Structure 1
């Protein structure tokens, strides 16, 4: 089988285990069905996810000029506390910002390499947890806009991490945590503006990833530098493909690259 397309974040389906789909313009591939098959990945060119031009990707699948211009790459995407749509203040495109920022958001705890705090739109639960490779997660606050979620995350970062160690996550060196206890422990640090949105009664969500073999020493594939790679797929976790030689390939980090995929 042969496919060519521009890489974008894999689409996921919450099931046991998680189902992964790589979507190209004219094809989609259920990646779970490729476990234990040999896959060849070949770099072809760049294709910015916004302007579609063959220009080097800067960040988040966008070329440099698009990254510093379009609302999809504004600072409030990575730093929700910078959101201003609730004040009717524009950053790059107020209509877009209102659409994204003025909807229910979740502040959550997820355990992938360690317990971390994060923010996502309510509509992105549990997708966000899957993308981070979390094996368990819990919502702790549901607020009506992105700003309130952002300031809550900032407040909680003094007491819990906001980062995931990707190597630890991929090696599956995880310790089960009682996230309900973590939620109760952190309740006192929630800002006054968000205290009324604390979620009192809920349980952990557990996630199961399609991995036959975890790497002991994961090494990240730079497909632009290598140009071509071939290996046997043995697992998928987060947005990473895991191969039998301990090579891992982060689909999310390579958005905007056009590749050939050959499967045997």
Structure 2
């Protein structure tokens, strides 16, 4: 059975375990049904997620031109504290930026091998946590826009990590005494005074169950170095496909790549 098309990040559905769907040209392939099957993945080209050009992907699924011009790849995607839509000031496209920035946001703690702080739109919960491979997650603030959430994150990341170490996340080693509510209490003193009204203290911890078993080691491959790969699919965590022999492919890291997928 052969499929082909442009890779987008996997869609997911909260369940026990989480259900994953590979997005090839907007056709969804149920990945949980393919565990134990051999997959052959062949890189055959590029297709920018913004303009559909066949230029080489530069970053985040965008060709180089779109990465530096599209509002969907602006600095505020990575650094929400730079948001200016609430001031009526455009970075690249004010209407698009309003739709992204002027909506409720969540500041959260999650455990991805370490406790980290993050920001996402409220509508992206729990998708954001699933995409990053979080084992546990806890909202700690609800804001009216992206700027407010970003300012809270900026202060807290002086005391808590704000990046996921993908190797630790994939090794799936859980600290036995981890309590995100207790962690929230410990960092409460660092919450910026001007934004304390957004703090949430009644939220519950969410646990996420992945179709996955921890490996002995982590070997990550890319289609740039291995344009054709075959392996037996064993599990999924975050946006990583786990193959037999502890080999992993980051699907989101290949957005905009065009592939042939042969399911044996």
Shared fold (TM-score greater than 0.5)?
Answer: yes
2:132 corresponds to 1:132 = yes
CA contact (8 A) 1:168 1:174 kept: no
Equivalent positions of 1:199-210 (< 5 A) are: 199-210=200-211
Structure 1 stretches of 5 or more lacking a match? none
Q: How many residues align?
A: 263
Q: CA deviation at 1:64?
A: 0.3
RMSD of aligned Cα (Å): 1.0
Q: How far apart, in 2, do the equivalents of 1:88 and 1:193 lie? A: 21
Q: CA deviation at 1:215?
A: 2.1
Go from structure 1 to structure 2 and tell me whether the alpha carbon gap of 1:26 and 1:162 turns closer, same or farther (over 3 Å shift).
closer
CA contact (8 A) 1:108 1:117 kept: yes
**Dislocated runs of 4+, deviation >6 Å:** none
Q: For 1:80-102, what per-residue CA distance to the aligned partner results, in whole angstroms no more than 9, with x for missing partners? A: 00000011111000011111100
Go from structure 1 to structure 2 and tell me whether the alpha carbon gap of 1:26 and 1:146 turns closer, same or farther (over 3 Å shift).
closer
Q: How far apart, in 2, do the equivalents of 1:22 and 1:236 lie? A: 11
Q: How far apart, in 2, do the equivalents of 1:184 and 1:173 lie? A: 23
Give the TM-score of the pair, scaled to structure 1: 0.97
Structure 2 stretches of 5 or more lacking a match? none
Which residue in the other structure is 2:234 paired with?
234
2:53 corresponds to 1:91 = no
Q: Secondary structure at the match of 1:21?
A: strand
Give the TM-score of the pair, scaled to structure 2: 0.97
CA contact (8 A) 2:39 2:263 kept: yes
Equivalent positions of 1:68-83 (< 5 A) are: 68-83=68-83
Equivalent positions of 1:1-264 (< 5 A) are: 1-25=1-25, 27-176=27-176, 177-211=178-212, 213-264=213-264
Q: How far apart, in 2, do the equivalents of 1:33 and 1:260 lie? A: 18
Q: How far apart, in 2, do the equivalents of 1:246 and 1:91 lie? A: 42
CA contact (8 A) 1:17 1:208 kept: yes
